[in-house]
Copies of this chain bind each other. A is one copy, B any other.
Amino acid sequence: MALNDVPPDCDFKMDFETIATFRARPRMDVAAVASELTSIGRWFYQQKWVLGTSGNFSAVLSREPFRMLITASGVHKGTMTPDNFLQVDSSGKAVGGKQHPSAEMLIHLTIISELNAGSILHTHSVWGTILSEAHAVSGGLMIQGYEMLKGLSGIRTHEYEEWLPILENSQDYTELSKSLSLVLREKPGIHGFLLRNHGLYTWGSNIEEAKRHVEIFEFLLEVIGRRQTITSSIP
């Protein structure tokens, strides 16, 4: 799919210009990819999904040699500029530039390695945080029956059962990456996971798909969370 998602802008004409520009640029263009992730960051920020310096985004620029563009460490994801990104190689080493990658980069590399994903987006929402704690003892959350599930890659029916694992958070990202690799191998077909009290990671074959997955999961997490606040059946 060639459509690049640009969050709603007040400047109506700008929307069409920006979208046309994105469509005209080659996918591997660093500036275009950075712009797209910047726009996504602004939209996520408006939803309060990347407050403070939370969240991080990546996109594969090339496979041979491997180059991944990722948000720099300590950067506010809602107000990024072109110098807030850096390129890393397959070992996670920064290529050029002066920025330092966040340790969470290892998670991105793990997902790409295990699933050949094209883009990974990590959000840190209120409902994602709440549910990651509320269902931690179960090791995850089974989501089923929602039409919204059909928006996940490869899913064609609302009767699908999507398992959303919850991993324990850790500052040791090397160990965390190992745990993640095991989960991704044990549960092929999943589309995301939660880090306990840390938020959602999801991915796609490209940025657009990853963003769509974020919106779907954040929607479902809010629905499930709010359902747990219902006390009365009387409308």
Chain A interface residues toward B at CB < 8 A: 1, 3, 5-16, 18-19, 39, 42-43, 45-48, 51-54, 74-76, 78-79, 81, 124, 126-127, 129-131, 133-135, 141-143, 145-148, 151, 156-158, 169, 171, 195, 197-199, 212, 215-216, 218-219, 222-235
Contact of A12 among B18, B75, B198 (CB under 8 A): B18
Contact of A141 among B135, B215, B235 (CB under 8 A): B235
How many Å lie between the Cα of A171 and that of B226 in the bound state? Answer: 26
Quick check: A8 and B235 within 8 Å, CB to CB?
Answer: no
Contact of A228 among B142, B216, B232 (CB under 8 A): B232
Number of chain copies forming the complex: 4
Q: Nearest chain-B residue to A195 (Cβ)? A: B147
Quick check: B231 and A231 within 8 Å, CB to CB?
Answer: yes
How many Å lie between the Cα of A198 and that of B145 in the bound state? Answer: 9
Contact of A223 among B54, B76, B130 (CB under 8 A): B130
Quick check: A158 and B198 within 8 Å, CB to CB?
Answer: yes
For A46, the chain B residues whose CB sits under 8 A away are: 8, 46
Q: Nearest chain-B residue to A216 (Cβ)? A: B52
Q: A10-B10, A158-B169, A212-B52 are in contact. Are A145 and B3 (CB under 8 A)?
A: no
